[in-house]
Structure 1
Amino acid sequence: MKYFWNLFKNIDKILLFLPVCFALISIVMISSTASQGEFVFAKDVKIQFIAYLLGFCAMSCILLVDYKLFENWERPLYIGSIFLLLTVYIPGLGVEHYGARSWIDLKVVDFQPSEIVKITFVILMALYLSKNHDTLKTYKGVFRAGLYASPFIVIVLKEDLGGAIVLSVIWLAMIFYAGIDYKILGKSACVFVVALPIVYRFMASHQKERIDAFLHPDNLGLAGNYQVWQSKVAIGSGGFFGKGLFQGTQKELKFLPVQKSDFIYSVIVEELGMIGGALVIALYAVFLYKILKIAYNAKENYGALIAIGFIGMFGFQVFENIAMTLGAMPVTGITLPFISYGGSSVVANMIALGFILNVGIRSKLINF
């Protein structure tokens, strides 16, 4: 009993409370996409609610296990994560949604392996960089760090451009914190920019279409531009105070696409106005700040790197999704963490939060 009391006493209460706020926003807004004028406990709402329950249970289990135990699981985690990503290619198991083959059919629900692999990727990179951070002062060391991460990024890139970008941002955030030589980082960035046309050539056709659409925003014939145009109309029509909860017309008339996932922020701003949108951004800002504080107070590099990895993951996803709805970033299918519809995403995000809180708890002097 004392063990559980020590856990609760040392946990970051605000960071624990914020997902409850996100869950309420998510469930209400997903219900709004399914109805007009009132709250409806629709099928998608039920699935999201169950996902949150499962997520809280998973988070609680993670809190009970010292994150340092994962230091002994590096090899099985690495191999298991690669295998999990490849399951989408098993005939009869892998399925395609929105042009991306990144899901597996579990009959009851579809599951996205890359969501769980984002978590194991952070753990694995934290393990690798905590042992090899001194090598990042050399090109050879940075190359090896890239080689270590490349199987995950390459496999996910073939499945889902957005997921691959998230993994790349996580990697960059973590090696930056681990102490990469800035000259090497700058030169590597230049090489990457020069190599972009080559990378573009090897992208899938639907991925190229999204890049082309972003570069030519006025061409509504390109895939993605119509969605962004309707998103901007919805956001603009919301004004300062919004049209009222459950009263969004762009949403109701189905002009706004993929309302419950990719463009849920557009629904929020249309119905709750700029005030509602700003409140959501403020909640995310507090969320990221609390994680940064845990990274700063971590007692060792491994724990700090875990927190930094998840800052990169959550921070980029929030930025990309909101910027995408405004036409400031390409449409990549990256959802709004904790709020967009998606069972795999919600459970994975709650597990990630479990690791973050785990680092925070065990960074304090507690007598277990």
Structure 2
Amino acid sequence: MNETRFNPFALLRAAVRPLDPVLLVLLAVLLASAHILMQSASPERVDSQLTHFAIALLGMWALALLKPQRLLALAVPLYVLGVLLLIAVDLFGEVSKGAQRWLDLGVARIQPSELMKIAMPLMLAWFFQQREAQTRALDFFVAAALLVVPVALIVIQPDLGTSLLVAASGIFVIFFAGLSWKLIIPLVVAGVIGLGSIVAFGDTLCQPEVDWQVLREYQKQRVCTLLDPTRDPLGKGFHIIQSTIAIGSGGLMGKGWMDGTQTHLAFLPERHTDFIFAVLAEEFGLIGAVALLVVYVLMLLRGFHIAANAPTHATRLLAGAITMILFTYAFVNMGMVSGILPVVGVPLPFISYGGTALVTLCLGIGILMSIQRSRFADKT
């Protein structure tokens, strides 16, 4: 009789086979960097961070195993569930730090807005797949309506950072689906005029008696603080000032691991979450910051390669949107930490402490791996 021997290496190869090796290596570098930085920024959170890593990687692996067609089949149910949960948050959600973002289900406390970061691009990719043969102008307005509903529900929580990320995830799909430049250019021009007006008339617009109407008072103050952090150096401008000091003091080579004064003297706020890039720049200098940027750029290039070679219209849209979401996370976080964008509470992808964002981002990587795997499966 032939005896079947247990082969752990064969089992490991079978488990790793669905994973894209390039994305896996780049992700491993980022998670290792996150672990090193967390030991300096907040050593008491290292154990829980490892737990977050395990959960996120398990979710990534599970999605990488699924075929993209099955993922797209979940698009409508996930979108509807997400919208219903957002409505439930508005009606029954828990208030924490002045925001109503959480929903207590008894067995767990969840933030439904995070679900929409994955459900939104899935939904719109599925939507445009149904209309691939003859996409009309009306389809883009319908897609915009599908996007506006969850974004509006997140804005009223209020959660400006998450609403921007969810909006971006949908806008990227709509853009890649072939949105006409005739519609894009007027929006860009209006945005440039609006930003230019804020910069030019910032002193007047930032006076206490001026109501910005479309933004809440704290959101107005974030923009005004960006324009001039020294208006309130010990209050609203403290985050940006201390962050830029940390980044600048790192110089070329940095002060050394665990030797950052801004970090270890507790001048740098939220050093383990939103402002961990400042910890990196202070302790590892410009070289460390550039090295991180190189890893992000390589991950983006891999994502765009997967999108360009995806087997179907929907998977191309989905892969392109997820790749651009990664870019948005990194760009917004680094921009706000370095003082060129308002502070909106967006974490540095795969580096900042926090389970929810990490799981969401790893699920996105899992979807990219699923799409890459389906490309070769279709050829065989």
Question: How high is the TM-score relative to the length of structure 2?
Answer: 0.85
**Contact 1:15 1:290 (C-alpha < 8 Å) held by counterparts:** yes
Aligned: 1:73 with 2:74:
yes
Measured in 2, the distance between the counterparts of 1:205 and 1:222 equals 18
* Residue 215 (structure 1) aligned to one of 227, 252, 256: 227
Aligned to 1:201, what secondary structure does the other structure show? Answer: coil
Pick one of 213, 224, 228 that aligns with 1:201.
Answer: 213
Q: 1:6 to 1:343 in 2, by over 3 A?
A: closer
- What is the distance in 1 between the residues matched to 2:22 and 2:303? 11
| Structure 2 residue 185 is the aligned partner of structure 1 residue 186 | yes
RMSD: 2.9
Cα 1:218/1:342, change in 2 over 3 Å: same
Could you tell me how far 1:191 is from its partner in structure 2? 5.4
The whole-number CA distance in structure 1 between the counterparts of 2:11 and 2:249 is 52
Query: Distance between the aligned counterparts of 1:219 and 1:234, measured in 2?
Result: 20
Cα offset, 1:352, TM superposition: 1.2
Corresponding position of 2:340: 328
| Paired position in structure 2 for 1:12 | 20
Aligned to 1:27: 35
* Residue pair 1:161, 1:332 contacting (<8 A) in 2 also: yes
Match 2:153 to one of 152, 155, 158: 155
Letter aligned with residue 50 of structure 1:
T
1:49 corresponds in structure 2 to 50
Cα deviation code 1:89-145 (max 9, x no counterpart)? 454x52424x5432346799864332222011111111112223577663x333222
Contact 1:220/1:226 (<8 A) preserved = yes
Asked if 1:268 corresponds to 2:280, the answer is: yes
Q: How does 1:242-253 map to 2 (within 5 A)?
A: 242-253=254-265
Determine if contact 2:311/2:375 at 8 Å carries over to the other structure.
yes
Q: Is the 8 A contact 1:33 1:259 kept in 2?
A: yes
2:169 aligns to what?
Answer: 170
Distance 1:184 1:6, change over 3 A: farther
Residue of structure 2 equivalent to 1:118: 117
- Measure the CA separation in 2 of the matches of 1:266 and 1:62: 32
Cα contact 2:18–2:65 (8 A) shared by 1? no
8 Å Cα contact 1:295-1:304 kept in structure 2:
yes
Q: Which residue is equivalent to 1:143?
A: 141
Aligned residue for 1:103, secondary structure, equals strand
CA-to-aligned-CA distance 1:190-243 (integer Å, 9 cap, x gap): 45667899x951333222221222233332259642211110000011111111
| Alpha-carbon distance in 2 for matches of 1:154, 1:195 | 21
Contact 1:66/1:358 (<8 A) preserved: yes
Q: Distance in 2 between matches of 1:195 and 1:237?
A: 34
Q: 1:75 and 1:195 mapped to 2: Cα distance?
A: 35
Inter-partner Cα distance in structure 2 for 1:133 and 1:49: 42
Aligned CA distance change for structure 1 residues 90 and 30 (closer, same or farther; 3 Å): farther
Residue pairs, 1:85-104, within 5 angstroms: 85-89=86-90, 91=92, 94-97=94-97, 99-104=98-103
The letter for the 2-side match of 1:51 is: H
User: Is structure 2 residue 357 aligned with structure 1 residue 356?
Assistant: no
Instruction: State the distance in 2 between where 1:247 and 1:89 align.
Output: 44
User: Judging changes above 3 Å, is the alpha-carbon distance between structure 1 residues 74 and 349 closer, same or farther for their aligned structure 2 residues?
Assistant: closer
The one-letter amino acid paired with 1:64 is L
Stretch moving more, 353-362 or 162-171:
162-171
* 1:165 aligned counterpart, secondary structure: helix
The 2-side partners of 1:239 and 1:182 are apart by 42
Q: Report the 3-state secondary structure (helix = DSSP H, G, I; strand = E; otherwise coil) of the residue aligned with 1:330.
A: coil
TM-score (norm 1): 0.87
Is 1:298 aligned with 2:310?
yes
Q: Distance in 2 between matches of 1:354 and 1:26?
A: 19
The answer on whether the counterparts of 1:314 and 1:337 sit within 8 Å (CA) in structure 2 is yes
Structure 1 residue 151 displacement after superposition: 0.9
Shift of 1:82: 0.9
Unpaired runs of at least 5, structure 2 = 1-6, 199-210
Which of the pair has more CA radius of gyration?
A: 2
CA contact (8 A) 1:212 1:222 kept: no
Q: CA deviation at 1:148?
A: 1.2
Aligned-pair identity in percent equals 28
Structure 2 counterpart of 1:280 = 292
Pair 1:222–1:101, CA change in 2 (3 A): farther
